């Protein structure tokens, strides 16, 4: 089990996904409960960005994949704060595309200047109200 993963073999993870988690379970309580299987390295309890409340699931990371597999058989279905846990191997997330920012025309590179755009002689500052009036005129409304 400790050898390198071969092509086509599922990658074994040292993290487990914990579902059906009570909203009042803390990170420390998770670590304590899952340490029955072996040494817990970390536990993450994601929270909702808007409300700050836990989302009802967590990830527990173990020292090695053998301990993670042991925790699945030991903790899956076990009651924690009145709810039967659903524990399985965590899936590795695919890499996410980088950074936000405004879209670039034709998918080209981002401008490399740092700070203000380069000075242009033909650049004429405009008033936002003028742009809004022009847009309304094009849409058929009167300003």
Residue 45: give its domain's CATH number. Answer: 3.30.70.330
- Dist CA 1 CA 36 (whole Å): 21
Position 83 in a domain? yes
**Tens digit of pLDDT for each residue in 105-137?**
666 666 565 556 556 655 555 566 777 777 778
Query: What 3-state DSSP class applies to 125?
Result: coil
Q: The tokens of 84 are what? A: 């039967």
Structural domain of residue 40, as residue ranges? 15-89
Position 59 in a domain? yes
Position 2 in a domain? no
Question: How many domains, the chain?
Answer: 1
- Tell me the whole-structure pTM to 2 decimals: 0.59
pLDDT exceeding 70 applies to what percent of the chain? Answer: 67
Position 84 in a domain? yes
**Tens digit of pLDDT for each residue in 60-81?**
999 999 999 999 999 999 999 9
Position 74 in a domain? yes
Ranges assigned E (strand) in the chain: 15-19, 40-44, 58-62, 79-80, 83-84, 86-89
Position 135 in a domain? no
Position 73 in a domain? yes
Position 116 in a domain? no
């Amino acid at each position: 089990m400790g050898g390198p993963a071969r092509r086509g073999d599922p990658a074994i993870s040292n993290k487990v996904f914990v579902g059906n988690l009570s909203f009042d379970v803390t990170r420390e309580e998770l670590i304590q409960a899952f340490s029955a299987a072996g040494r817990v390295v970390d536990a993450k309890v994601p929270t909702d960005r808007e409300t700050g409340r836990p989302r009802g699931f967590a990830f527990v990371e173990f020292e090695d994949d053998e301990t993670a597999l042991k925790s699945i058989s030991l903790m899956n279905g076990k009651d924690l704060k009145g709810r039967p846990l659903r524990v399985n191997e965590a899936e590795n997330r695919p890499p996410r595309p980088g950074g936000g920012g405004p879209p670039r025309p034709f998918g080209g590179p981002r401008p490399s200047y740092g700070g203000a755009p380069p000075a242009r002689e033909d650049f004429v500052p405009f008033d936002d109200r003028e742009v809004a009036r022009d847009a309304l005129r094009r849409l058929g409304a009167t300003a």
